Chain A
Amino acid sequence: MSVLFLLIPLGLLMLGIAVWAFFWAVANGQFDDLSTPALSVVMDDDAAPPAPRSEDGR
């Protein structure tokens, strides 16, 4: 059972990473709109190449 002494801290580490990622996503506005992005994939039109998108958009 001593493997637990390794696995549980590893699990906590991953938890910490997940929480950090979530905080980043919330601060980045990823949770402000929950309906449009699901459709944006379908809506990309092939006729025109998408313009490059800058990173600092919210």
Chain B
Amino acid sequence: MKPLTCYHCAEPVPPGAPYRATIDGREEPVCCAGCQAVAELIHAQGLEAYYRFREAPSPAEVLRPEASEWSRYDAPDLTHRYVLATGDFAEATVEIGGMYCSACVWLLERALRRCPDVQVVSVNPATRRAVLRWRATELSFGGLLAAIAEVGFRPRPLAPGRREDAAEGEYRRALKRLLVAAAAGMQVMMFSFALYAGGWFGIEAGIEQFLRWTSLLVTVPIVTYSARPFYAAAWRGIRAASPGMDLPVAIAITAAFLASARATLAGSGEVWFDSVAMFVLFLSGTRFLEMRARHRADDQATALARLLPDSVTRVRGETDETVPLDALEAGDLVRVRPGEVVPADGEVVSGMLALDESLLTGEAMPCSRAAGARVLAGSVNRGGSGLVRVVRTGAETTLAAVGRLIERAKADRPPVAVLADRIARRFVPGVLLVALATGAVWLKLDPGRAFEIALATLVVTCPCALALATPAALAAAASALARRGFLLVRARLLDVLGHGATVVFDKTGTLTEGRPRVVQATCPDPDWPQARCLALAAALEKASGHVLARAFDGDPGPFRASEAQVECGRGVEALVDGARWRIGSAAYLTELCAAPPPAQDGMPEGCTRVLLGNEERVVAAFAVGDELRADAAATVAALEDAGLKPVIASGDREPAVRAAAVALGVEEWHSGLTPAGKVALVERLQARGETVVMVGDGVNDAPVLAAADASIAIDAGTALACATADAIVPGRRLATLLDGVRVAAMTRRVIRQNLAWALAYNLAAVPLAASGWLAPWMAALGMSASSLLVVMNALRVYRHAAPATPVRRPHGRALPLGSESPA
């Protein structure tokens, strides 16, 4: 039977879920109370056409903040910040979270137009922004936001003057420049054809002069308006004493235009208005595409910053108060309710949160965080509520660090890119010299054609394609990888991560989950079933700071331990219900109780044995170990298939490492290594001539991550602190590495293709132009087409790396079965 899918969000309906939406008397299955409410509301308002027109299912909205949630925006300082009051009316720009397609826009517009007090609604799904205008005397800002939230979106007011506005302005300006170049360029081309035809078949002198004057007139806006960015960039290059490729471009444009204008004024001589127009048009087109790609990448980075709420509930003494996010300081107490986003890095003080940290870690399941646990800004609270003590705010949060890493990745370039850039910079003076030399030679041979040929040479040799070849590919790769949860910090990784490289894995926390778990429990006593033993163990281990104690961090149930004594490295003793209990190593238990411990058959290799008992008997034997990540074996196998050699280097004892190596099928493994030993191992491998990519969790691995040719830090938190890594995989998915390998290979291929093409083109075109075979317009066409080709080729990386599996939306997920869904 086909699994039931939710009527509203199309997520699978958990078996046994009681939710049904009543629509036209029919009962439709929905996955949660949130979807039920939204679906019924949509139908009650007669908006069912939404379901016909939508392009993508709605995100499952598990928890919707209550209407009261939005009233906090009525606080004067928040309203003042976001709302522009004009007489009776107020205006605000709101970002609409959860808006994915045109049907969403339709739904939002319709729903809002039913509110008589909302006057203007303009909604743009591309920027996910809505401009709203409403009668402030009748409807508060919070009320308006609540109305938006009611149809299932997540409104988020935007303070004016943000970075997106700058991007929008740049987009609009570039679009206008491009259109002027295109429209005027077409006219100029038309006149040029008439002039060329006239050159062949004869033309009246009056008409010829007229056409030349008209061409001059139409070219003026191209040269003075559309080409302005090139002059600005050329001037910046001159001032910085490192002329870029825009210098020859600017020289070619102005020289060709001025010479043509002079010929027109003089009434004799060649004109090249068509070449100028075409050059500017194609170059602007290439730059326009590049700009769009850049904006898309920026979008990714700012998406992180958007995750934090604008206002938070601060608890001072007995009272809750709503304050803007900026007002939050370390040490403040913040109340986090269901559906809210944790506003800062901090520590849970009381209560229990079910946090969805997927954006930071890629982990899909909400994990519960009780008192004492660390929480990260940007995590969404899927259930429960609690008080959080703020530790780090704003730019110091992990979330901000991730954002900065993305920025850094965008700015960094691998050696191959640096090389290409150096070549391009050397090229520029070379281009100018070659053009001058060509002109000088032709001045002797045929003074009439000298300028034309020098111009064609200048244009055709412009190293635009060469300069674009690598950055375009890198930008595409970085944003494709970021979408897959692989944050590229330094692009040199892309050079290294590929066929023939040796991948050295740390074991604990990298190949394994990094936290001990009870792998096996033997509880022979019928009075002490497993669940009871585990609860007792949890109670005892709460007192212990030992690493293995984390295996027992479950619910202590009815047990309360008192007078706990921790014996370092051996175990814990405490009083529970008047009896003395111990948990720890076999030797430690034997001191308390002479009874033989339960026999434990088939104890998994690499595990530690932990016993639990009182003075009379030993009630349980646990095997505690660190389990391999679910996708570790598949990832290692796939890496081997891709021609990479996996090696395990661990500080663990030999049996545990061997067990892991055998389970993963890794041939080379080293155990008992100190951090210095790991560095020595990496250096030994490098001495063998191997390229070493180190994969670690960043806890003790900083030195070895730095020693390797490239390094990848896995898992959040600690990894982010480790600035030596070249890439960070914040998720629990080891398989993300494979995406990295795949994209790296593709990127290297594309960069090579681009460089080869750009160099071959320039080398082939120079002699042609210098020998006078190319007219300036052909040179302009060739150069621009070559740049365009390079950019399109780079975009292939992005498309190729586009997820095979659908991108998981950070919020578009239902709670797993069995979790509570307060509505």
Contact = CB atoms under 8 A, between A and B. Distances in A.
A36 B120 contact: no
Given A35-B125, A35-B126, A57-B131, A26 B175 contact: yes
Contacts of B746: none
Given A33-B125, A47-B46, A53 B207 contact: no
B164 to A, nearest CB: 11
A29 B124 CA distance: 10
B204 interface: yes
Contact of B110 (A26, A29, A45): A45
B187 A11 contact: yes
B121 interface: yes
A27 B175 CA distance: 11
A1 B123 CA distance: 52
Contacts of A1: 204, 207
Interface string B126-155: 110001010000000000000000000000
A32 B126 contact: yes
A12 B110 contact: no
A50 B114 CA distance: 10
B106 A51 contact: no
A12 B220 CA distance: 13
Interface in A1-58: 1, 4-5, 8, 11-12, 15, 18-19, 22-23, 26-27, 29, 31-36, 39-40, 42-43, 45, 47-48, 50-51, 53-54, 56-58
A44 to B, nearest CB: 9
Contact of A12 (B102, B122, B187): B187
A45 B175 contact: no
A50 B566 CA distance: 73
Interface stretch (B178-186, B261-269, B389-397): B178-186
Contacts of B105: 36, 40
A31 B210 contact: no
Contact of A26 (B119, B176, B207, B210): B176
Interface residues of B, number: 39
Given A11-B187, A54-B119, A58-B131, A43 B210 contact: no
Contacts of A56: 120
Interface of B: 46-47, 49, 53, 102-103, 105-106, 110, 113-114, 119-127, 131, 133, 168, 172, 175-176, 179-180, 183-184, 187, 191, 204, 207, 210-211, 214, 217-218
Contacts of B103: 39, 43
Top-4 shortest CB links A-B: A57-B122, A33-B124, A36-B102, A51-B113
A57 B183 contact: no
A43 B180 contact: no
B133 A32 contact: no
A40 B176 CA distance: 26
Contact of A19 (B46, B106, B180): B180
Contacts of A47: 46
Contact of B172 (A27, A40, A48, A54): A27
B151 to A, nearest CB: 15
Contact of A43 (B53, B176, B187): B53
B58 to A, nearest CB: 16
Nearest to B214: A8
A8 B124 contact: no
A2 B175 CA distance: 36
Contacts of A15: 183-184, 187, 218
Given A33-B127, A43-B49, A43-B106, 18 more contacts: A4-B210, A15-B184, A19-B180, A22-B179, A32-B127, A35-B102, A35-B125, A35-B126, A39-B53, A43-B102, A45-B110, A47-B46, A48-B46, A48-B114, A50-B113, A53-B120, A57-B121, A58-B122
A31 B214 contact: no
Contacts of A50: 113
B210 A8 contact: yes
A40 B175 contact: no
A5 B210 CA distance: 8
A56 B131 CA distance: 10
A54 B133 contact: yes
A28 to B, nearest CB: 10
Nearest to A32: B124
B91 to A, nearest CB: 10
A10 B180 CA distance: 18
A33 B101 CA distance: 11
A21 B258 CA distance: 30
A54 B134 CA distance: 12
A1 to B, nearest CB: 6
A22 B122 contact: no
5 contacts: A18-B183, A32-B168, A36-B102, A36-B124, A45-B110
Contacts of A23: 176
Nearest to A55: B120
A5 B110 CA distance: 54
A54 B127 CA distance: 21
Nearest to A47: B46
A39 to B, nearest CB: 4
A5 B207 CA distance: 8
A5 to B, nearest CB: 7
B210 A36 contact: no
A23 to B, nearest CB: 6
A1 B194 CA distance: 12
A50 to B, nearest CB: 8
B83 to A, nearest CB: 17
Contacts of A53: 120
A56 to B, nearest CB: 7
A18 B511 CA distance: 63
A48 B46 CA distance: 9
Contact of A34 (B46, B126, B133, B172): B126
B207 A4 contact: yes
A46 B120 CA distance: 20
